[in-house]
Amino acid sequence: MTIEINFMASWMATESRGARRAVLAGAWALTLAAMATPADAQGLPLIRDTEIEKLLSDYASPVFQAAGLGSGRIKVRIVQNENFNAFVVDGRNVFIHTGTLLQAKSPNEVIGVLAHETGHITGGHMAALRARIAQDQTRALLAQILGIGLMVAGGVAGGDSGSDVGSAGQGIMYGGNEVIMRGLMAERRSQESAADQAGLQLLNATKQSGQGMLETFERFAQQEYISEAYKDAFARSHPLSTNRIARLRQRVMRSPYYNAKDPPQLQLRHDLMRAKLSGYLERPGIVFNRYPATDKSLPARYARAIARFFQDGAGGLRAALAETNSLIRDRPSNPYFWELKGDLLMRSGKMRDAIPSLRQALKLVPDSSLMRVQLAAALQNENSKAATNESVKLLRRSLVDDQNSRAFRLLANGYYKQGKRPKADAMIAQAYFQEGNLKQAQIFAKRAQIKLRTGTPEWLKNDDIINYKPRT
């Protein structure tokens, strides 16, 4: 679908509970424990969308290349959360909130955030924090870290339950070892300053301005002295100070690229991304206030087309399709307008009607794994042998580049329809494993293994799942 929300558990599936706690502690020290604590219970709510992922890849790739991290090694993942924040938990993923994308008015602001987080990766800050925890080996330190994690989570969650969690965290924190905690806080501040400097170096290396990074940090600097309970998640997780902001400002203004501007076409893509997120994630009333009918720009029309669908049932679909068809007439080469039309039809149960639009979208972006999955989902509702065979082909190809549980489950359904029960069970096992449910993954893997031919790719993957043991 055009915007798909999944829960990320695969990065936790390979970790024991103790190791996960260390990762969660690291997420707090660098950026955000607020999302890490719920993740331990249910996974991170991730947004999957071709248009947004391609844009973020275009933002991040030059920065990653300049940092010597290569192409394809690090993924930018989108967390559905209205707060402005971004964080890293390892050297393979940068997580960024939808709130950041909605609030950032220019590409340069987002690129600045990505450059800062890249600075944490190149600085080895996650490894340094884990080493610090291993070195101190005290209950007090772990209690402090977990306590602050709880407190930050409560602040972001809001509401009565969030306040209770926050209070519990403060109780743990004040009961711990103050000397150890001061040392850790000092190390954290040092890491943040180092990430600032590294991020600016990466922006200079890619001939981009640091104004976006500076504006982001200045926006939250005013929150440094207010109560933790009322701070924005970004201000809580990225400790700011007057001296740090002053140093950052000096470095940004000294850059030869200080006045560099985002290309107009990139700004348009950014505005379209914000419009799409607004349309899908915000209430229609908010969308129409943000993008009134008097605004005839492409992003405003995009947002209103989506919001009209969610406004009122069948009538909403007619209005949304009218707006979407108008966008397609004006920009027939934009694949995401075609994709939107297909998505709206699928959401309304009109699977067959959605297929031509989804085909056109994939034709315009032939390398999109997510679009292949969406087209395959629509085809499977045709209940014909030809449609099932095409969907299986699309899904197998999509999984080469992007392994995700939805594609595995759809492929399982396709195999069931083809009468290939062992292969179907093997795909269900893969889906559960991607979701972090090792118990169910092994149940289906063992069921499939009995009838799979030894040595085939499916058999080997199943065997890995059956014999997999979480690290202690």
Q: Could you report the per-residue pLDDT of 73-119, keeping only the tens digit for each?
A: 889 999 999 988 888 877 788 999 999 999 999 999 999 999 999 99
Distance CA(236)–CA(151), nearest Å, equals 10
Q: Residue 95 carries which DSSP code?
A: E
Q: Residue 453 carries which DSSP code?
A: P
> Tell me, what's the pLDDT at 195?
86
Instruction: State whether residue 420 is helix, strand or coil.
Output: coil
Mean pLDDT computed over every residue of the chain: 80
Distance CA(422)–CA(445), nearest Å, equals 9
pLDDT tens-digit profile of 237-286? Answer: 455 567 778 888 999 999 999 999 999 999 999 999 999 999 999 999 99
> Tell me, what's the pLDDT at 166?
36
Output 263 or 154, whichever has higher pLDDT.
263
Distance CA(109)–CA(124), nearest Å, equals 24
For residue 88, the cross-strand partners are 94
Q: Do the strands 93-97 and 44-48 form a parallel or antiparallel pair, or are they unpaired? A: unpaired
Model pTM? 0.79
Distance CA(97)–CA(85), nearest Å, equals 6
Every domain of the chain and the residues it spans: 4-254, 293-466
Q: Widest CA span of the chain, in angstroms?
A: 69
Mean pLDDT of 294-301: 98
Q: How is domain 293-466 classified at the CATH fold level?
A: 1.25.40
pLDDT tens-digit profile of 407-455? Answer: 999 999 999 999 999 999 999 999 999 998 999 999 999 999 999 999 9
